[in-house]
Structure 1
């Protein structure tokens, strides 16, 4: 559930990540979205595995141990509703469906999504029909 003030916290996380270098287990395609989810909800879905991998291969092994990236997100965010990217809102997580080590998660922002790059963040088009996880709004 999104907490009061999530918009400002999300903007601060994104602003702070603009100049960060990509670092496995600290600022990567899973931890950056988890940082954004923590800004929205106060809960870090990757808290128990941060700092436990140092390479792309180790990250992929962890993802595969959890059944793949989609199963990993669904298990770590059981309160999030899986939706089409066309129904995703700012702050939701989207799966950019590339293969192997190119598969990654991004954060929906406006008409696009944001993902970490080697040096900073990339604003990418929001893929139509991709799987996204909606972080519910407070009632």
Structure 2
């Protein structure tokens, strides 16, 4: 697993500000996608990127090919290599979840904000119940 990251003092305010900054952003592969959103919130909370060395991509196909080149079969496999997985019911604010969200791609990544997680969809962030997620990972 990757480097251990910890949440910095005041992470709650930085997490809320980062999520607000993404309001209204449309989904764009490699520039404003669900994994980019999650990584941005982790940087805001911890000061570091838990998955720092991803290749550039501008489409779903390029993203999939990049994962294969890195030796991963899925986004979940990539994240498992960098972050500890936790039961969805134990996901806490700032943690990452994966699950379907209205307007987002199947298996979209999201960030827990309480009982809901924010996922980046075509027209910007959408909220879904955390307990609807399929998997969760601890951030700090």
1:123 aligns with 127
- Distance in 2 separating the partners of 1:42 and 1:117: 25
Report what 2:75 is aligned to: 69
Contact 1:94 1:105 (C-alpha < 8 Å) held by counterparts: yes
Deviation at 1:54, TM superposition (A): 0.5
**Cα distance between partner residues in 1 of 2:133 and 2:24:** 30
Gaps of 5+ in 1: none
Which TM-score applies when normalising by structure 2? 0.82
Number of residues of Structure 1 aligned to a counterpart in Structure 2: 130
CA–CA distance in 2 between the matches of 1:29 and 1:112? 16
1:73-99 deviations in Å (ceiling 9; x for gaps): 12233xxx311111000000012169x
Equivalent position of 1:34 in the other structure? 39
The root-mean-square deviation of aligned C-alpha atoms, in Å, is 2.0
Aligned to 2:114: 110
Partner of 2:14 in structure 1? 9
- Give me the TM-score of the superposition, normalised by structure 1: 0.82
Where structure 2 has 5 or more consecutive residues not aligned to the other structure, the ranges are 1-5
